[in-house]
Structure 1
Amino acid sequence: MNQIQSLLSDCLIRTKHVEHAAIIKLKDETVWASTLGFNLQPQHALLLSSAFFKNLLHVRREGLYFKETHYKCVRADECSIYLKNEDRGLIAVKTDSYILVATYSEGMYPSVCVEALEKLAEYFRDKEN
Structure 2
Amino acid sequence: MSWQAYVDSSLVNSGHLDKAAIISAAGDSVWATSAGFTVQPAEMKNLAEIVSGSKAAVDKAYADGLHVGGERYVATKIEDRSVYARQGRTGVVVVKTKQAILIGHYGETHIAGNAAQTTEALADYLIKVGY
Number of aligned positions between the proteins? 128
Corresponding letter in the other structure for 1:17: H
Provide the alpha-carbon RMSD of the alignment.
1.9
Q: Report the TM-score, using the length of structure 1 for normalisation.
A: 0.87
C-alpha deviations, 1:75-121, integer Å up to 9, x for none? 10221000001011011001121111010111111111111000000
Residue 57 to residue 77, structure 1, CA distance change in 2 (3 Å): farther
C-alpha deviations, 1:4-48, integer Å up to 9, x for none? 211221111112220111111124621111122212232221121
Corresponding letter in the other structure for 1:64: L
Give the ranges of 4+ consecutive aligned residues of structure 1 lying more than 3 Å apart after TM superposition: 65-68
- TM alignment of 1:65-76, pairs within 5 A: 65-76=67-78
Query: Identity of aligned pairs, percent?
Result: 25
Gaps of 5+ in 1: none
Gaps of 5+ in 2: none
Residue 60 to residue 41, structure 1, CA distance change in 2 (3 Å): closer
Q: Is 1:64 equivalent to 2:66 in the alignment? A: yes
Q: Distance in 2 between matches of 1:68 and 1:39?
A: 8
Q: Relative to structure 2, which stretch is displaced further, 60-69 or 20-29?
A: 60-69
Q: Which residue of 1 aligns with 2:89?
A: 87
8 A Cα contact 2:23 2:100, kept in partner: yes
Corresponding letter in the other structure for 1:106: E
